[in-house]
């Protein structure tokens, strides 16, 4: 038995008018009649007497209403409480981040927890080689990611930053002393790629296979995490492309991060599963956007 049929029966028993019932339920009068007939068929008897001038409950309808009312009121109250709870931003929201929680990440958390003191944001690292796995598995509610994202089951917010790239190289690499490197010069630098289930567009974003003019860029093996990549870079086994804020976070004596010109900017944003969107997810996206609009966000 469908809740909509019961709801229609209760409202019609109060209004005793098909048009007013339809207006209350945002339905057409024809749909109201259809729901009532369906319920009467399930029960096996007429619940209403209908004439051209009036509608009234039959004895069976009166008895059914008396028996149904306590349970219906309890169910309606439960639905109302559930809807109210769904609009609340409380408890815990799990936020995924890639490799390094830069100021875009930590600043968003601070703004969110200040605006919603009843909800705690827990940070969870997302593997660079599997950027959407934890989202789809329900292990995080929302995740910082590189935009744009071409995944039909995911929703993304707006861009939170637009930053340049740097090429991580061993201090012993011939290009490590350069002030900058042009994107076309990547054709002479084997790049470390990713080993994992990330979609093709993600692999290209982390380690492009061609320069902007179409020249092939050689590969230098694959890694699953940023730390694995940094280790390979330090050992002189290849270069790895980083966004500038992440490069700043990974500064070390055996690696040089050389600015790269001529590549499209790296854009960080938020993604979440469309079917699992909650008030907390929407509130976190708003907090991240608010922080990104502040001058100090990077």
Residue 237 in this model has a pLDDT that exceeds 90: yes
Q: Can the peptide bond before residue 26 be classed as cis, meaning omega within 30 degrees of 0?
A: no
Strand partners, 153: none
Strand partners, 143: 96, 271
Residue 117 in this model has a pLDDT that exceeds 60: yes
Summary mean pLDDT of the chain:
93
Taking residue 153's Cβ as centre, other Cβ atoms within 10 Å add up to 11
What pLDDT is stored for residue 262 in this prediction? Answer: 96
* Of 129 and 75, more confident: 129
Q: Going from the N-terminus, what domains does the chain have, and what CATH number goes with each?
A: 3-86 (1.10.10.10), 91-162+267-293 (3.40.190.10), 165-264 (3.40.190.10)
* Of 296 and 114, more confident: 114
What pLDDT is stored for residue 79 in this prediction? Answer: 75
What pLDDT is stored for residue 53 in this prediction? Answer: 83
Pick the closest to residue 187 from 164, 163, 219, 165 (CA basis). 219
Taking residue 276's Cβ as centre, other Cβ atoms within 10 Å add up to 14
Q: If you ran DSSP here, which 8-state letter would residue 27 be given?
A: -
Q: How far is CA 296 from the centre of its chain?
A: 25
Question: Which tens digits make up the pLDDT trace of 67-104?
Answer: 999 988 888 888 777 666 656 788 999 999 998 889 99
Q: For residue 106, which phi and psi values (nearest 5 degrees)?
A: -65, -35
Predicted TM-score of the model (pTM): 0.71
- Give the DSSP per-residue string, 149-209: ---TTEEE----EEE-EEEEEETTSTTTT-S-EEGGGGGGSPEEEE-SS--HHHHHHHS-S
What pLDDT is stored for residue 210 in this prediction? Answer: 97
What pLDDT is stored for residue 11 in this prediction? Answer: 94
Instruction: Give the span between the Cα atoms of 136 and 45, in whole angstroms.
Output: 48
Residue 62 in this model has a pLDDT that exceeds 60: yes
What pLDDT is stored for residue 141 in this prediction? Answer: 97
Q: Find the mean pLDDT for residues 224-239.
A: 96
177-186 exposure pattern, b = at least 16 Cβ within 10 A, e = fewer: eeeebebebb
Q: Find the mean pLDDT for residues 199-222.
A: 95
Instruction: Give the span between the Cα atoms of 196 and 114, in whole angstroms.
Output: 36
Question: Which tens digits make up the pLDDT trace of 143-193?
Answer: 999 999 999 999 999 999 999 999 999 999 999 999 999 999 999 999 999
With cut-offs at 50, 70 and 90, classify the pLDDT of residue 206: very high
Share of the chain above pLDDT 90, in %: 86
Residue 297 in this model has a pLDDT that exceeds 50: no
Strand partners, 268: 146, 161
Question: Which tens digits make up the pLDDT trace of 184-201?
Answer: 999 999 999 999 899 999
What pLDDT is stored for residue 43 in this prediction? Answer: 94
């Amino acid at each position: 038995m469908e809740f909509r049929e019961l709801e229609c029966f209760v409202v019609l028993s109060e209004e005793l008018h098909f048009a007013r019932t339809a207006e209350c339920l945002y339905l057409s009068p024809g749909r109201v009649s259809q729901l009532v007939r369906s319920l009467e068929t399930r029960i096996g008897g007429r619940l209403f007497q209908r004439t051209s001038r009036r509608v009234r409950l039959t004895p069976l309808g009166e008895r059914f209403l008396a028996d149904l009312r306590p349970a219906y009121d309890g169910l309606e109250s439960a639905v109302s409480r559930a809807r109210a709870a769904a609009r609340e931003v409380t408890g815990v929201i799990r936020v995924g981040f890639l490799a390094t929680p830069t100021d875009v990440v930590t600043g968003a958390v601070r703004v969110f927890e200040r605006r919603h003191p009843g909800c705690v944001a827990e940070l969870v690292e997302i593997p660079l080689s599997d950027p959407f796995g934890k989202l789809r598995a329900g292990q995080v509610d929302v995740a910082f990611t590189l935009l744009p994202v071409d995944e039909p089951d995911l929703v993304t917010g707006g861009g939170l930053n637009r930053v340049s790239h740097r090429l991580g190289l061993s201090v012993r690499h011939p290009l490590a002393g350069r002030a900058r490197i042009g994107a076309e010069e990547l054709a002479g630098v084997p790049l470390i790629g990713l080993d994992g289930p990330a979609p093709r567009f993600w692999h290209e974003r982390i380690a492009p296979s061609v320069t902007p003019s179409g020249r092939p860029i050689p590969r230098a093996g694959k890694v699953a995490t940023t730390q694995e990549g940094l280790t390979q870079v330090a050992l002189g086994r290849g270069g790895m492309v980083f966004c500038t804020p992440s490069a700043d976070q990974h500064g070390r004596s055996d690696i040089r991060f050389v600015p790269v010109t001529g590549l499209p900017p790296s854009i960080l944003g938020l993604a979440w599963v469309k079917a699992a969107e909650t008030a907390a997810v929407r509130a976190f996206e708003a907090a991240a956007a608010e922080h990104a609009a502040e001058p100090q966000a990077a």
